[in-house]
Structure 1
Amino acid sequence: MPTAFDQTLAAIDALHAEDPRSTTLADGTSMPKELAYAQRMSGWLDNVHEAPDDVLRLAVRAQHLQRWLVPREDYPEGRVGYLTWRRDQGKRAGETTAQLMRDAGYSEEDANRAATIIGKKGLGRDPDVQALEDCACLVFLENYFADFSRKIEHDHLVRIVQMTWRKMSPRAHELALTLPMSDASLALVKEALGAE
């Protein structure tokens, strides 16, 4: 019999695998975008948290659960629209993950805890929420920042880097500065941090 953790993780990954969008990995293989993101999130967790428990591992894995179902374009443009979309996505992903956990036999307390972490309630105060945020920031910087930076106006991008940096722990800052980056990306990060 699979454990409750294994059962929930498999259910989360099965939903990730339904993402109709795909991405090409470094080795040239294709994978559903959300599944690749989730695996990258899990890959960073042990680097930012000394002893992640199973609830945190599931929350980190499920942070973007079924995000493609509610596109950003369904919300108004601008910061308020973006923050509303992100909040709604976190709430939905948290509720879905909590239900998957209950179905696998987790307690109500553990299921609710995962939903709280995914919803990023307590960022800056809760070490588990901080770990999830650190993973998300590192995944962004490592895998998506270079492409993202080509689409955004320079000064706006500097502000985004500064906001991202403020959300990260000192440990995540150390890790971020070791990431391989293009000269252009590195220059942008240094500019943003120099202006802090």
Structure 2
Amino acid sequence: MTKTAFFDASELIDVQNGQDPNSEIFQSESHPKELLYSNRMYTKLMEFEPNASEAVQIAAKAQHICRWKIARDSYPMDRVGYLTWRGDLKKLHAQTTAAILEKVGYDEDFIARVSFLIKKKQLKKDEETQLLEDVICLVFMDYYLEPFVEKHDAEKLKNIILKTWNKMSEKGHQQALKISYSATNLQLIKEAIGL
């Protein structure tokens, strides 16, 4: 596939994510929330694995595409509701991305592979699914751990950190420990993972 198709697909993913009505302030500027997340995912992937395949690069950018279209509070606020919501989101992300990839000329096999990755199938078994999961976890640890710290008590936070840690590869663990955390958060992470 030509690089033109990749750039066209990336641009269309950005257009979709740029429509997010939710915003986040970063470096004193307001950004559409999922566009910011998409950019963080792609940047982190390129830092962590510069030779990542085109399929992983697109899956990283489209990981949360149009996430705001399915609200969490439209499902029961329990574990089953949460898992159903997450499953429906994965389908939405995969279908939205597949339509974009088809539009710019990717073939069925490539589209199927990107959908497989976005749905995070065969985690721990498929190398590229694991790579994507590592990047998701690294982005969480780098950018989204701090807001969680403000909302939850230490024990719940340790549980969240440990669950995140357990999804990652050894290479992911090494990278996560290189992130610049506050002293408090670093201590919390060390306690959670038993360092």
The TM-score by the shorter chain falls in which range?
A: over 0.9
2:79 is the alignment partner of 1:79: yes
Give 1:84 deviation, angstroms: 1.7
Separation in 2, partners of 1:117, 1:49: 16
User: Once structures 1 and 2 are overlaid, which stretch shifts more, 152-161 or 61-70?
Assistant: 152-161
TM-score under structure 1 length normalisation:
0.93
**What does the per-residue CA deviation read over 1:42-92, in whole Å, with 9 as the maximum and x for residues that have no partner?**
011133335212121111100000001111111222332222211211111
* 2:41 partner letter: M
* 1:111 partner letter: I
**What does the per-residue CA deviation read over 1:70-127, in whole Å, with 9 as the maximum and x for residues that have no partner?**
1111122233222221121111101110111011100011111101100000111111
Separation in 2, partners of 1:190, 1:179: 13
Indicate the residue corresponding to 2:20 in structure 1. Answer: 19
Indicate the residue corresponding to 2:44 in structure 1. Answer: 44
Separation in 1, partners of 2:49, 2:69: 30
Q: What percentage of residue pairs aligned between the two structures are identical?
A: 39
Return structure 1 stretches of 4+ with deviation > 4 angstroms: none
Indicate the residue corresponding to 2:6 in structure 1. Answer: 5
Indicate the residue corresponding to 2:166 in structure 1. Answer: 166
Separation in 2, partners of 1:49, 1:128: 11
Q: Let me know the Cα RMSD of the aligned residues.
A: 1.6
Give 1:129 deviation, angstroms: 0.8
Separation in 1, partners of 2:3, 2:125: 34
Separation in 1, partners of 2:188, 2:83: 24
Separation in 2, partners of 1:193, 1:158: 8
Separation in 2, partners of 1:48, 1:122: 21
* 1:169 partner letter: S
SS at match of 2:151: coil
Indicate the residue corresponding to 2:134 in structure 1. Answer: 134
SS at match of 2:31: strand
Separation in 2, partners of 1:44, 1:2: 20
TM-score under structure 2 length normalisation:
0.94
Separation in 2, partners of 1:180, 1:193: 17
Indicate the residue corresponding to 1:156 in structure 2. Answer: 156
SS at match of 1:64: coil
For the 8 Å contact 1:48–1:171, the answer to whether it is kept is no
2:83 is the alignment partner of 1:70: no
What stretches of structure 1 of length at least 5 have no aligned partner? none
